Amino acid sequence: MRLIWVHFKVSVIELIRIPMFSVPTLIFPGLLFLFFGVAEAHDRMSATFSMASYAVFAMLGIALFQFGVNIANDRASPWEDYLHILPVAPSIRFAARILASLAFALPAIGLVVALAFLFTAVHLTLAAWLSFILALLVGSIPVTLFGISIGYWFSPKAAFPVANICYLALAFAGGLWLSPQNLPGIVAVLSPYLLIRQYNELVWSAVFERPWPILPCLGLLIYTLIFGVLAAWGYRRDEGQRYH
């Protein structure tokens, strides 16, 4: 735990030192919610649905840009060379990255929630709030591992456009901007199998105080294993290219 904590602090400090990159990522979901989410929040149910969706959108942005793109950029730095020679397992660094993503996601999600309270009729019971927070935590693990995988499998020049495409495509197809029943054609068919849609299903169930659905929970577990393997493989691949 001590090593995870040390790497967590280093990750957070690195991000804080680049406000021109981190601040826009933190406020962007809140601005989109203000411009578009509030307009869709006609009553308590739609307001709660919109707030939950944009909270997931905030978590996705942190994972892809603060970690995926940042990792790709960091791989070219001398500091990353130093970290690679330390006797630390990839799982330690990945766990620290996940905790750091949660720490950075908190203000982004908090902004969305605050705007929802100010401009919509959103209302959750204490039980719903606790379930909402837990669902966000559970879904953050595969999402952050997805971002880490991008960081280790793509070059710095390629990581940013790949993250952008994934960010927008998953937000749309995952039902963050349109409710699932309004998704068009083939997108509606593929949507239930996507990581973000399954994350959404968990969060939507939480805020509406419904039992967590089994299939999205299993889907998130499978995605966690897939992206965990990809992230570790990418890490070892990067290490092999540097030192062999």
Per-residue pLDDT of 171-202, as tens digits, reads: 999 988 778 888 888 999 999 999 999 999 99
**What's the start-to-end Cα distance of the chain, in Å?**
30
Say how far apart CA 233 and CA 244 lie, in whole Å: 16
Confidence bin at 241 (pLDDT 50/70/90): low
Say whether pLDDT at 244 is over 60.
Answer: no
Say how far apart CA 63 and CA 143 lie, in whole Å: 6
Confidence bin at 7 (pLDDT 50/70/90): low
Confidence bin at 208 (pLDDT 50/70/90): very high
Say how far apart CA 234 and CA 232 lie, in whole Å: 5
Total-model pTM: 0.87
Which amino acid is present at 63?
A
Q: Is the distance from CB of 94 to CB of 145 less than 8 angstroms?
A: yes
Question: What is the number of other CB atoms lying within 10 angstroms of the CB of residue 91?
Answer: 13
DSSP letters spanning 164-204: HHHHHHHHHHTTSSS-GGG--HHHHHHGGGSHHHHHHHHHH
Confidence bin at 106 (pLDDT 50/70/90): confident
